[in-house]
Amino acid sequence: MCGIAGIATIDGLDPDSLLLDRLAAALAHRGPDGQGRYLQNGVGLIQVRLAIIDLEGGRQPLHEPRGAVLVGNGEIYNYKELAADLPDVAFATASDCEPPLHLWRRAGSGFAQRLRGMYALAIFDPLTKRLTLSRDPFGIKPLYYAETAKGFVFASEAQALVAAGLVEARENQKARDELLQLQFTTGAETIFAGIWRLLPGETLVVDKGRIVERHRLEALPVGGTASNSHDGFLYELDGVLAESVSFHQRSDVPYGMFLSGGIDSSALLALMARLNERPVLAFTAHFPGSSARDERSHAARVAKELKAERIDVPFTEADFWQLLPAVAAAMDDPAADYACLPTFKLAQEARKHVKVILSGEGGDELFAGYGRYRQAMRPWPLTRKMRRHGTFDGLGVLRTDPSFWRQGIASAEREQAVPGRTRLQAAQAVDCADWLPNDLLTKLDRCLMAHGVEGRVPFLDPLVAAFAFRLPDAMKVHKGLGKWALRRWLDKVLPVAGAFDKKRGFTVPVGDWIAEKGQALGPLMAAQPSIQVLCRPHEVENLFRHASRQGFAAWTLLFYALWHGRHMLGQRHQGDVFDCLDAMRCSS
């Protein structure tokens, strides 16, 4: 796990080394274990390294005999198998990223079809002067780029391109409206005008500072549902999950996992306990003194049964006010997902013990855990669109109601409604296209990498996806319960987990915390320049005065104001939320 960045000039002259210094400085939190760079042939590449595999020999850039170089972020879990399939190669390292470099030399831009992992890779060939970028199919690892007057630039985080002075910090209003209404943004455009995401599964080829080729590797299988007996499905599920977790545990440093009260993390711990001789280290968040569901009793019961070691991580109201500015700073590609708050503190605590965390992201999308999937399964005309309503609809807070905030989701709905898919599969595919990479996985990447911790997601594995997505609908949603197959499997292997118990969704009591200080917070928020442009000040004060009823809208505005101050105005957050808001108001 690392951070990467680079520049490919149009005129073929080597980029200024100071620009590489700035990129490396902006990404330093992603790679505290060292830096490497390449600067010649009109291209500059940097990598900041978090050493996980081949601690001594895996430094980057990596080279192959004909001169091509690679910098990468992520993990290639099948690197041993790839190396075994290249018996004529004399490998210089035991790094997981070296086999992809040699594979690229043989397969060209189609090399990613054989990779199993999470990755954002950049390969430069001095023979052709071409640069190849590739991102994993689920978009677990981020990569951003811009085409500028001087050339093509890219980085693991959008903020690095701004910090290096390569792209001006200008707001994309369409993406801003999506953020406010959806809590995340969709597609290739980012909230930074002129900065684009490399799409999940996309490979780009750059020549003379401009994109000349694009390829796309899909995360989800094509074709209809699979056929098998009920017991046959559960037997196959056990096999693919165990293999994925085994691959995701390949590491030369200690690892642990995040354990909540949900199905996904319980299943993950059950598999890790089976595959490890030593007790698994699990971290559980809780919210003392609040109305939020306390998941510690469930986590303790599961951990005791599996002989796991568990660390409770409290997230308090004081943490909310103190840590939120740092969280907004870390979330440069913003997602107003309040789960980023406990994730940030969990990572902070985990870094004291491990460098790698396994987490259950992707289980709901692949095994159909969300209630909205049941709505999508209804026959026409009872079928409902997902995310029909925006956060600020009907509140009268915004000066102008955003008209086009749903275009990105609508586009994904059209693209994913392919022949042969059921309505449920189409809904799952829509979530995998945008919600998963641009909210859940962005949150996990930024919050963990802010503390130099690698996050791994075993559910988002090609073999797991190929199996889970093609399960019959009745094995996903049955008797009003989602994730039916995963529940049946978990009930069999770990009865104490209560796979069929009634579950409540994960919540963070941000509305309660904001409401307690709403009288003081409202005027501060109404005075923020970024909020005044968008909102009616009186209605903003009213919103925060009644945040107990409209907590998510208030949270979204608060997150946005802090995010805007840091990433659009370039203000360094110091102190708590009130200190930051007061400083931004006074400096306007």
26 in helix, strand or coil?
A: helix
Is residue 535 among the annotated active site residues?
Answer: no
Main-chain dihedrals φ then ψ at residue 70, nearest 5 degrees: -130, 135
DSSP secondary structure code for residue 9 in this structure: E
Main-chain dihedrals φ then ψ at residue 46, nearest 5 degrees: -135, 155
551-567 and 537-545 helices, crossing angle to 10°: 120
- Give the CA count within 13 Å in the CB-facing half-sphere of 476: 27
DSSP secondary structure code for residue 146 in this structure: E
DSSP E strands in 184-296: the ranges are: 196-197, 202-207, 210-216, 255-258, 281-286
d(CA 341, CA 509): 11
* Cis peptide bond upstream of 99, omega within 30: no
Q: Where are the alpha helices (DSSP H) in 77-229?
A: 79-84, 98-107, 158-163, 173-182
For residue 278, with 0-12 CB atoms within 10 Å meaning exposed, 13-18 middle and 19 or more buried, which class applies?
Answer: exposed
DSSP secondary structure code for residue 398 in this structure: B
Instruction: Give the bridge partners for 256, in sequence order.
Output: 357
Closest CA to 215 of 295, 132, 291, 143: 132
Q: In the chain, what is the straight-line distance between the N-terminal and C-terminal CA atoms, in Å? A: 38
d(CA 460, CA 456): 9
Active-site pick, 2, 340, 535, 580 = 2
For 172, 260, 278, 284, 317, the CA distances from 313, given in Å and listed in that order, are 37, 11, 22, 6, 13
Q: Which two tokens stand for residue 324?
A: 């939120």
Closest CA to 519 of 458, 578, 474, 569: 578
Q: Which two tokens stand for residue 241?
A: 């999950």
Burial 67-96 (b: 16+ CB within 10 A, else e): ebbbbbbbbbbbbeebbeeeeebebebbbb
d(CA 522, CA 176): 21
- Residue 169 CB partners (closer than 8 Å, separation 6+): 162, 192, 567, 568, 569, 570
- Residue 296 CB partners (closer than 8 Å, separation 6+): 284, 286, 312
Catalytic positions, written as ranges: 2
